[in-house]
Structure 1
Amino acid sequence: MLIGVIADDFTGASDIASALASGVEGKGGLSTVQFLGIPDGVAPTGIDAGVVSLKSRSIAAREAVRQSVAAADWLIKAGVEQIIFKYCSTFDSTPQGNIGPVAEALADRLGASKVIFCPSFPANGRTVYQGNLFVHDVPLAESGMAHHPLTPMRDSDIRRVLQSQAARRVGHLPYQVVQGGAQSIKKALAQMEAPFVVVDAISDCNLVQLAESQASAPLVTGGSAIAAGLAENFIRRGHARSGQFHGETIDGPEIVIAGSCSGATLGQIEYHRASHPEMAIDVDAVMSGEVDADTYLPFLLENAGNAPLLHSSAPQNVLERIQKHYGSSKVAARLDRLFGDIAAKAVAHGVRRVVVAGGETSGAVANALGFSSLRVGKQIDPGVPVLISTTEKPVALALKSGNFGAPDFFEKALNTMVTS
């Protein structure tokens, strides 16, 4: 393997796997496999990039560090030349969060004296300017992420957020330098004393130039969008050939599960329910133990062929009531367990295509299904590829971050699985 990725959640892992496989401008990147958790044994042969999916974004920092360093150790044994620490393009974290501690531990493990931080993902409206993160044209702290149930982002200045978590000093590389190109970036970074550097980027071109400047860096951190340029570095040097995504097609019964309450997912639910069967989970009944996976499984199986949608998403006022009454972490844990059970039972009953909306929900489903690795296929929407299990009877998955995807994402994902 040439590139190894440590991703702090499952949808983020799929996101960056897609970028590595698609390459710059979708022209083709690296042969990529996504691993669900830290793999056992030796790495498979014949792949250029391996993405280790952790579920470490919202856990205690010490445990996140332990898991991330263990993932790095496995990737180093696999022979990778560069490691990417991938976090969300909205820098999901808190003052007690994991991005700083994990980055410091990985820098120590890899001997990285200068590490960049760039969550920018222009295709999905995430950009960094003057050290501040924007969601489309709205500062992060004024976007819907300010109300995230687990990692509310109430400061748009990524420098301050990162510095609150890290012992190392945090610097800033402004857009005026970035637009000068790879050599300008490289020179400026070499002259900076701060070991951690938040980098401005407002376009894919900026990210390609930034990636070129990091061709020899042992550790890079950021969102998924920089990965295409990092893959191109190896292709340019002749270490890999482009066009390596897996094009396997999967047909058969399908289900759609949504556990996200983001604006994008709520819009996708409204779009899908207009022409497909839909059922909302009764969260109060779930919390009281009145319902379980067997309560909802018949709806999905009976409507196979019509892209049935099961969701727990709710408007902000309903969400706030539920979280206040039961506690947000307890609600999230109970729903994650329920969705995982439902998905596992559905696949056991012959379901072959599974679409999941929401980072935590995707992680729960992936864990419950028990797949050890997934081949990365065609991109559905920016940041979301088709993933195909390496099992004897393959299952196709789409694991979507809550904020990603077009309004018709659910149906598009199911169709792409059949036509990859």
Structure 2
Amino acid sequence: METAAMLVAAGIECGFVTDPALVGSYGDVPAIVIAQKTRVIPASEAVSMTEKAARALLARDIRQIFFKYCATFDSTDQGNIGPVADLLMQLTGAEYTAFCPASPALRRTVYNGHLFLGTELISDSPKRHDPLTPMTDPDLVRVLQRQTRAKVGLLAHALVSAGAEAAGRAIAEAAARGIRYFITDAIYDRDLDTLAALTCDWKLMTGNATIVQHYPDIWRARGLIGATRRPPCLRAVGGGGVVLAGSCAERTLEQLAEFEKSHPVLRIDLLNAGDVAATVGDALDWARPRLHRGPVGFATSGAPEAVKMAQERYGREGAAQLAEAILGRLAVSLRSVGVRRFVVAGGETSGAIVEHLGIRRLRVGPYGGPGIGTAVTEDEDPVALCLKSGKLGPVDLFATTLDVMLDPGRAN
């Protein structure tokens, strides 16, 4: 959703679906985003889902497929970045592609193939405690090579700094030696300018959403898209408002604490939540008398110690699936009692809630800041969603965003 929001903010009409079958419902739009929950499912399932999405796009005779993943390259030795890239290389017929997770404005940078969060290697950062994809190796060439049989190399910063033409020559030479995947160094925004210019005609490109912002000016300069359109304002949505937090990132915990200063928050202890139906029922009973007074929050989030205890009881994937099942079914119950505004913290949580609510197509609003996407369903009885990365967003995001959903004009 963040990727689509960046394109919308750049004045580009962008379709957004969760079901590839709906790609054909759009007319002549410059871009379509298919959002799927594939980060931590078994690699074979991620490949199968991605194939359906890619074939739906290729049927439209598209110029390029862009495969988006997190700025922190969240993955395991089994995938799913490598296996999905392997599939997309095959389908598009690309000879090689690049991997650009960097987001310099957020201090997510890559140098000598090593991923940094600020001044720390990712392996020294809180990401080493991620409950599903702990990042303990900062060398992305090694990380990706463990996920694929394709040969992985590095496009070093000296070559990126030399410009798109020089970088292109270096890649062509390396490809002649059998290298198919290139981790790209990127420290500054100007590096992303270079990488966008280098890759704008490639059949396949991969990376974090940030580099997407650097394509529209190139497309316009080359006459591939029309004049800039003013980003549309999303429709106002009333009804109850809730926060659903599944992320255990430090920033989400800070945002919850800030929201709780003025709004009630129910913290759901996974160790005592084995009965999903009973837990959801209790949470709904707690919410009913409070919702008429304003937004409320629900969280399965916890500190690393609490997460470890839940994983010891249910297993790593089991704990995550339990949290997603609780928040997803709770979202459905809340919708049935009049909630129409949802702020969701965490990428996996966002995917689970969209799936539970049965949302297949959305109108996305313009970019609201790093890691944040907002959208409204196109139904007669609309639902407004803000889906945010667990690691990002201002500390007061929860209450502010729920207010903006009532009156989107105040965000301008």
Query: If the length of structure 1 is used for normalisation, what is the TM-score?
Result: 0.91
Change (3 A) 1:29 1:126: farther
1:95-244 maps to which residues of 2 (within 5 A)? Answer: 95-193=77-175, 194-240=179-225, 241-243=227-229
Deviation at 1:332, TM superposition (A): 1.3
Kept in 1, the 8 Å contact 2:237–2:382? The answer is no
Return the alpha-carbon distance in structure 2 between the equivalents of residues 34 and 135 of structure 1: 30
Q: Is the 8 A contact 2:374 2:386 kept in 1?
A: yes
Pairing 1:20-419 to 2, within 5 Å after superposition: 20-22=7-9, 28-40=10-22, 42-193=24-175, 194-240=179-225, 241-243=227-229, 245-252=231-238, 253-288=240-275, 291-304=278-291, 306-417=294-405, 418-419=407-408
Counterparts of 1:315 and 1:391, CA distance in 2: 38
Q: Deviations over 1:354-373 (max 9, x none)?
A: 10001111111000111111
Paired amino acid for 1:359: G
CA 1:353–1:259: 2 relative to 1, 3 Å: same
| 8 Å Cα contact 1:262-1:402 kept in structure 2 | yes
* Distance in 1, Cα, partners of 2:228 & 2:404: 21
Residue identity (%): 35
Q: Indicate conservation of the 8 Å contact 1:43/1:78, yes or no.
A: no
**Distance in 1 between the 2:23 and 2:156 partners?**
43
Following superposition, the deviation at residue 228 of structure 1 comes to: 1.3
Secondary structure class of the residue paired with 2:368: strand
Matched residue type, 1:246: P
Please give the alpha-carbon distance, in whole angstroms, between the structure 1 residues aligned to 2:403 and 2:107: 25
Residue identity opposite 2:7 in structure 1: L
Q: Aligned-pair distance for 1:384? A: 1.0
- Deviation digits for residues 144-197 of structure 1 (CA, Å, limit 9, x no counterpart): 111111111110010000011111111111111112222232232222221110
Compared CA separation, residues 282 and 399, structure 1 to 2 (3 A): same
Which consecutive residues of structure 1, in runs of 5 or more, have no partner in the other structure?
A: 1-13, 23-27
* SS at 1:209 equivalent: helix
Measure the CA separation in 2 of the matches of 1:375 and 1:212: 29
Q: Structure 2 vs 1, CA of residues 20 and 383 (structure 1 numbering), >3 Å: closer, same or farther? A: farther
1:259 offset after TM fit, Å?
Answer: 0.7
Specify the code of the residue in structure 2 equivalent to 1:44.
Y
Q: Which amino acid aligns with 1:419?
A: P
RMSD of Structure 2 on Structure 1 (CA): 1.7
Q: Deviations over 1:359-393 (max 9, x none)?
A: 11111100011111111103332131211112222
Change in 2 beyond 3 A, CA 1:69/1:172? same
Q: How far apart are residue 291 of structure 1 and its match?
A: 2.7
> Conserved in 2, the CA contact under 8 Å of 1:19 and 1:227?
yes
Question: What is the distance in 2 between the residues matched to 1:393 and 1:416?
Answer: 18
Equivalent residues of 1:20, 1:29 under 8 A apart? yes
Counterpart Cα distance in 2 of 1:298 and 1:237: 57
TM-aligned CA deviation for residue 128 of structure 1: 0.8
For 1:7, the equivalent position in structure 2 comes to none
Deviation at 1:222? Answer: 0.6
- How far is the alpha carbon of 1:337 from its aligned partner? 1.2
Counterparts of 1:415 and 1:379 in 2: how far apart (Å)? 17
Q: Shift of residue 352 of structure 1?
A: 1.9
33-42 or 149-158: which moved more? 33-42
What is the Cα deviation at residue 225 of structure 1? Answer: 0.6
Q: Distance in 2 between matches of 1:290 and 1:227?
A: 41
Structure 1: distance between partners of 2:189 and 2:311: 38
